[in-house]
Amino acid sequence: ALFIAACFARWPQAAGRIYSADLLGGACGALAALPLITSVGLAPALLLLALLPLVAATVLAAGGRGLRLCALAAVLSAAQYPLLAVQPGEYKALTLRQLERDSQLLQQRDSLSTRHSVLAAPGLHAAPGLSLNSRERAPQQWQWFRDGDRPVPLLLPPLPARDYFQQLLGHAPYTLLELAGAGKAAPRVLLLDDSALWAAWTAAAAGAGDIRLTLADGDARELLRELRRRQDEGIYPQQLQLEAASARRYLQGSAGDFALIVAEIPHSEAGMAAAQEDHLLTVEGLGAALERLNHGGLLALTVELHALPRDALKAAAMLAAALRERGLPPARHTLVLRDWHSALLLASNQPLTVAGLAPLQQWAARWHFDLVAPRALAGSERHHWRQGNLDSALQDILAGDEADSLFDIRPNRDDRPFFHHFFRWQSLPALLRGEASWRLQLEWGYLLPLAALAAGTLLSAALLALPLALAGGARPPRPLPLLGYIGGLGLGFMLLEIALLQQSTLLLDASAISLAAVLAAMLAGAGVGSWCQQRWTPRTGHLQLLMLLIALGALLILPLLRGLFTVAAAWELPARLAAVIAPAFLLSLPMGLPLPHALRCLGAHSRAAVAWAWAGNGFASVLGSLAASLLAMHAGFTALTAAAAGCYLLAAALLPTLPSATEST
C-alpha cells in the first residue's frame, strides 16, 4: 500500500494504469497461489511470497529510484518471517496427543485449505458412540486430524467382529431398517463429509452393500487411499466409495435414493467457528437430504453433547423446520436417542409408530441408550445424566413449542448458513452473572471480529484525522464528502466480494478454490475496467450510471448464483468455475472506474490529497472485511449485497462533490 500510494501521488494522471496493474497483479496472485501451495507446500509458498516486495523494489531501483526502496522492502519482508511457522495451537487435540508417550506422526499433508495429520500412539482408543454397558475394548487404530482437531479413528487389523458395531449409538437406524435381515436387498448408505468416516464401519457391519462418503478435498481422498494400501484391510471398509464432491453438491447433483443418510455435526469449542459457513447444516441442506431418502428411509444426525448443548437444539430446530416444509409433523417423524456424550437425531419420511419402534426400544434398553424424544415415546428410565433441560427442550422443539435457551437456536437458511453462530446480546447479562465459566460460554468467533471492527474504526478515524490536522493548506478539498465517496467504494467492493466468496462455495466445494476464483475474477474485471478508465475518461453522468448498474448487479448476483446451483451442481469443475467467474468478472468491470477517476481529479489539487484518499479507501476495505462477516451472520448474504448496493449508490450521489470533476470531464 505504501509503494502504490507513492506511485499514485507521483503520477496521478496515470492512476487508471497504476490501479489496473495493481488489480491485475492481484488477480494473477490469486490464480498462482494455489498451484504454488500444491507444488512446494504451504510454508515454502509463504516464504517465496514474502520475497515479492524485494523483487518489486529491485525493479524500481534498476530504474534509478535508489537502493533505499530495496532496504525498506527487505525490512518489510523480514518482518513477515515470524508469521511463516504453520503449527496447530498448543491446546488442539493433535498437539495434546503428541505429548503422549511413543506417539508418532505418520503422515502430514497440506491441502489447499486443510492440514491433514495421521497420528499413531498406544493410547489412542476412541470408539464414538460405544455403549457404557459394553464389555468390549476400543479397536486398534490410528487417528486422522484436520487442522489439528476433529480426530477420526482409522481402524487397523485385526478388525472387531460385526456384533461389536451393534453396541454403538450409530447402529440405531439399522435396527429400524433391519439391514441385516435375511433375504433383504442391501440398501444404499450415504455418509456426508469426512467426520462421518467412522460410521462406514457400522454400515458395513450392518450389511450395507453400497456405502458412499462425500469428500471434496482431493488430498484427503488420496491420503485415505494411500493409508489403506499400506494395510491388508482397515482404514475404511472395502465397499466404501469416496465421492469427489461436497455433501450439499452431491445431494443436489447425483442420482439415486438412499435408505440411510448420515451426517456428523462438528463441535466448535468456545464458539470459534461462528463465521464458518456450512451449506449442509441449513433448512435447505437438510431438506435436500430428506428428498434423497427412499420410502421409509432415515436421515441420521449425530451431535456431541457438551456443557452447552446448543448444537443439538439448533440441529433439532432445523430438522423440524425441514420436515414441516414437506408437510411432515416432526413429532411423528423424528426421534432422539442419546448416550453420555452424543445425541442421535433420526428423521423418516414415513411416520414412526410405537409398534414399529419396539425393536429399537429393546435394543436401546439392552445397551443403555436413552430414548429422549418425542415425549410419547420417551422412556422413564434414564441411564445417563440429565443435562439441564436438554431433554425437555428437544421435546419442545419437535412438538412445535418454543424452547427456552440463552442462545440463538433459530434454524439457519442458505442465506445465513452459519450453524455455529449462537450469540444473543440479550443473554449477555445472564452469562456474565455466572461464574468463571462464562468465558467458555461466550462466542469468541463472533466477539473477536466485533472488537477488531471497533478498534479498527477508532484507529482509522484517528489516522485519517491526523493528516488533516497537520496538513494546513494541503488539506484535501471537502474531506468528509470525499471520504464518503472513497470509503463507499472500498466498503461496497469488499462487502460484495465476501458475499460472492461465501456463496460460491456451493458450486465450487472447496473454500480455497472459491477464494481464488472469485478474487481473480473480481480483481481482473476491476483491473480491465480501470485500464479502460485510463483510455476513456467518463463524464460524471456516465460514471453515475455505471455505479447504478453496479448496485443493480449487486442485488441480482446472488439469485443468479443460486439459480445456477440448481442446474450446474453435477457439472465438471471447469464448467462450474466458468459459471462463477463469468458473472463475477462482468459485475466487476465497471467497479474499476470510480476510484482512479477520483484520484485523477485529486491529482490536480495535491499529492497529499491523493495519498489521503488512497488511505481512506484502504481503511474502508479492511473494515469492510470485518463488517461483512458480522453482517452476514446477523442478516444474511442478501442483506450484505443490499448494503454493497447502498455503498455504490452513496458514492454515485457524492460523485459531483469531487474537486475539479467538471473540468476533468
Q: What is the dihedral of CA 26, 217, 625, 629, to 10 degrees?
A: 160
Q: Which residues contact 641 (CB under 8 A, 6 or more apart)?
A: 495, 496, 499, 554, 555, 557, 558
Q: Are 580 and 516 in contact (CB under 8 A)?
A: no
Q: What was the pLDDT predicted at 179? A: 55
What is the spatial distance between Cα 179 and Cα 158, in angstroms, rounded to a whole number? 24
Q: What is the pLDDT of residues 211-241, one digit of tens each?
A: 999 999 988 999 999 999 988 789 999 999 9
Beta-bridge partners for 636: none
Strand ranges (E), 111-159? 115-120, 141-146, 149-155
Q: Which residues contact 27 (CB under 8 A, 6 or more apart)?
A: 519, 520, 521, 523, 524, 527
Q: What was the pLDDT predicted at 181? A: 47
Q: Which residues contact 510 (CB under 8 A, 6 or more apart)?
A: 112, 113, 216, 217, 246
The cell for 202 is: 457400522
Residues of the chain with pLDDT under 70: 63-67, 69, 80-85, 179-185, 268-271, 376, 378-381, 385-388, 434-441, 471-474, 660-665
Q: Which parts of 212-271 fold into alpha helices (H)?
A: 218-229, 247-253
What is the spatial distance between Cα 461 and Cα 476, in angstroms, rounded to a whole number? 15
What is the spatial distance between Cα 305 and Cα 503, in angstroms, rounded to a whole number? 30
Q: Which parts of 341-427 fold into alpha helices (H)?
A: 358-367, 390-399
**Which residue from 279, 273, 228 is spatially nearest to 249, judged by alpha carbons?**
279
What percent helix, strand, coil does the chain show, rounded to 5? 60, 10, 30
Q: What was the pLDDT predicted at 663? A: 42
Strand order through the sheet with 149-155? 104-110, 115-120, 141-146, 149-155
The cell for 60 is: 524500481
Q: What was the pLDDT predicted at 664? A: 39
Eight-class DSSP state of 168? B
User: What pTM was estimated for this model as a whole?
Assistant: 0.90
620-623: long-range contacts, CB 8 A cutoff, minimum separation 24? 620/486, 620/487, 620/488, 620/489, 620/490, 620/491, 620/494, 621/490, 621/491, 621/493, 621/494, 622/456, 622/460, 623/453, 623/456, 623/457, 623/460, 623/491
The cell for 105 is: 506422526
Q: What was the pLDDT predicted at 182? A: 39
Q: Are 187 and 179 in contact (CB under 8 A)?
A: yes
In a 10 Å sphere around its CB, with 0-12 CB exposed, 13-18 middle and 19+ buried, how is residue 72 labelled? middle
Q: One-letter amino acid identity for 568? A: A
Q: What was the pLDDT predicted at 380? A: 58
Q: Are 168 and 240 in contact (CB under 8 A)?
A: no
Quick one: CA dihedral 476, 482, 487, 489, positive or negative?
negative
Quick one: CA dihedral 298, 302, 305, 306, positive or negative?
negative
Quick one: CA dihedral 313, 314, 320, 323, positive or negative?
negative
How many CB atoms lie under 10 A from the CB of residue 461?
A: 12
Look-up: residue for cell 433441560? 389
Largest CA distance in the chain: 92
Q: What is the dihedral of CA 87, 500, 586, 578, to 10 degrees?
A: 70
Q: One-letter amino acid identity for 8? A: F
